[in-house]
Amino acid sequence: MERNEFIEFILPDIEEFIEQKNWYELKTALSEWPPQDLSHLIQSLKDDQKIIVFRLLPRDVQVEVFSEMDFETQERLLHQMGDEEVRNVIEELEPDDRASLFEELPGQLVQKLLPMLSNEERKHTLKLLGYPENTVGRLMTPYYVAVASHWTCREALEHIRKYGKDAETIDIIYIVDSSLRLVDDLFLKDLIFADFEDTIGDLMDGQVLYVDAYTDQEAAVKIMKKYDLNVLPVVDRDKILLGIVTIDDMIDVLDEEQTEDLAKISAVSPEIVGAEFLTHLKEVSITEVYQSRVIWLIALLLMDLLVGGIIQGFQETLTRYVVLVSFLPVLIDTAGNAGSQSATLLIRALALGTVKPKDWLFLFLKEFGVASLLGLTMAIGISFAGIIRGGFQIAKVVVVSMLVNVVVGSLIGLSLPFIFVKLKKDPASASTPLITTLADIIGTGVYLTIATLMLQ
């Protein structure tokens, strides 16, 4: 049984402990649970029970559990806590986690929480909040270990022992000059095995990867993935070391970006209610789900009305050859499916950075070849139905239309993401329903035009 299934299974027992006010047994039962599972448990409880279980946890565990929760649950708990409880939790949160929380909370609540922080923590939080949304500056933590190049290895190790316990990670040590500019980085293991009297400068290789605080977080994910990094330093325009971002933050970013892309590909608007609603669908209200879906559906409906207008324009042909109508759904659906395949492959390649906008012409020609083969295969497949239903004359129309429609649909699917990139929009916005609808419109016109010309 998976852990989440276990939590759902044991949930009635937890609720019974709460109803019976059996606090000792409940506290004992939860004492060995990891923070991630405790977070999932609290989020699964009723609103009035969440704060009860949260208060039973030790203070250091509370902070870890709180940082694992979704923003909606965090906000509910903050409203139910006393001022001292709130201060204890938010003061101990990592600066990047605290900044993410404050970013989501109402302004009035943020104004109430900021004075509860110490001067140093408030300074860090406001600094993080000052960077644009979705930049690395919002994710970085100022807790890292830095040493000077002229120090001996002995001095550096003493410094790490003294200050390293508060760092996010000490696997990598950063080397800075007298102005705190980033000079290099150093693996802790290399420092440990070096001679104590060697200087840090003796161990430097002059190669260090870093990002600007205004770098888009998705770009930072690609850098960390490309170079297999667990941590990445963040600098300002003068290369002064500001903080670091770690792999756990980047995994959250990757999940968020993939969720957002999935929503856009499906013609859902995550920007209206936030991409989180896809992963917390049970908690999202009917109104929010409706708002996220209705805009695209209305736009696609208006586009689909064009199909009816095209069909009306070919009434004479359809009246003489009624059998043509029976092939219309399969022709346009196959074209739409081919376009969706093409777009999905391209959007993923663009997201991974393996394809660039400059590759458009090469991929267009390549897709034309692939689509021609696919169209020919589909044409052969439908030719038998064409002969059976309408004879060789109708079969010729259907075969040619299938070949042309698959090629056109595939090229539409390939071109739209590139067009969105050119317009500086997310290529994932070239959604499957949009491609299918365009394929319906163009495919209907192509099919009926070919039929009219070939059957005259």
pLDDT of 123-138, one tens digit each?
A: 777 677 778 878 888 8
Whether residues 175 and 301 fall in one domain: no
- Check residues 116 and 119 and name the one with the higher pLDDT: 116
Statement: residue 1 has pLDDT above 50: no
Q: How far apart are CA 312 and CA 374, in angstroms?
A: 30
276 band by pLDDT with thresholds 50, 70 and 90: low
Judged by DSSP in three states, 242 sits in: strand
Average pLDDT over residues 170-194: 90
Same domain flag for 438 and 322: yes
Mean pLDDT computed over 363-388? 90
- Examine the domain organization and report whether 338 and 427 are in the same domain: yes
- Is 389 strand, coil or helix? helix
- 343: confidence class by pLDDT, cuts 50, 70, 90: confident
* Residue where a domain terminates, one of 247, 271, 305: 247
CA distance 391 to 395: 6
Report the CATH number at residue 437.
1.10.357.20
265 is a domain residue: no
CATH code, domain carrying 220: 3.10.580.10
Instruction: Tell me: do 192 and 230 sit in the same domain.
Output: yes
- Whether 308 and 436 map to the same domain: the answer is yes
Is the domain of 191 the same as that of 67? no
Give the pLDDT mean for 32-57: 85
The DSSP secondary structure of 176-223, one letter per residue, reads E-TT-BEEEEEEHHHHHTS-TTSBHHHH--S----EETTSBHHHHHHH
Neighbouring residues of 123: CB distance < 8 A, sequence distance ≥ 6? none
Confidence of residue 157 (pLDDT cuts 50, 70, 90): very high
Same domain, 221 and 108: no
Q: Which long-range contacts (CB under 8 A, 24 or more apart) does 41-46 make?
A: 41/7, 41/11, 41/14, 42/69, 42/73, 43/69, 43/70, 43/73, 44/7, 44/8, 44/11, 45/11, 45/14, 45/15, 46/15
Q: What is the pLDDT of residue 174?
A: 94
pLDDT band at 262 (very low <50, low <70, confident <90, very high): low
Instruction: Give the residue numbers spanning the domain of 71.
Output: 3-133
Q: Please give the mean pLDDT across all residues of the chain.
A: 82
pTM of the model: 0.56
Q: What is the mean pLDDT of the segment spanning 251-276?
A: 61
Same domain, 108 and 159: no
Q: How far is CA 170 from CA 141, 143, 178, in A?
A: 13, 10, 21
Answer whether residue 112 is part of any domain: yes
337 and 196 belong to one structural domain:
no
- Work out the average pLDDT over 329-357: 83
Q: Which of 105, 133, 161 is the last residue of a domain?
A: 133
Domain for residue 138, yes or no?
Answer: no
Of 133, 166, 194, the residue at which a domain comes to its end is: 133
* All residues at 6 or more sequence positions from 324 whose CB lies less than 8 Å from its CB, including other chains: 317, 318, 390, 394, 397, 447, 448, 451
Tens digit of each residue's pLDDT (9 = 90 or more) over 403-436: 999 999 899 888 888 888 888 777 766 566 777 7
Q: What is the mean pLDDT of residues 1-17?
A: 74
User: What CATH number does residue 47 fall under?
Assistant: 1.25.60.10
Is 279 contained in some domain? no
Residues 421, 375 share a domain: yes
pLDDT above 50: residue 389: yes
If DSSP codes are grouped into helix, strand and coil, which group holds residue 284? coil
Among 270-284, 291-305, 340-354, whose mean pLDDT is lowest? 270-284
Mean pLDDT (whole number) for 174-179: 90
- Express as a percent the part of the chain with pLDDT over 90: 14
Among 21-35, 49-63, 257-271, 433-447, whose mean pLDDT is lowest? 257-271
The answer to whether position 280 is within a domain reads no
- Number of domains, the chain: 3
Please tell me the least confidently modeled range out of 195-209, 237-251, 308-322, 415-429: 415-429
341 & 295 share domain: yes
Residue 411 belongs to a domain = yes
Structure tokens at 216: 């888009």
Same domain, residue pair 74 and 166: no
Q: Domain for residue 13, yes or no? A: yes
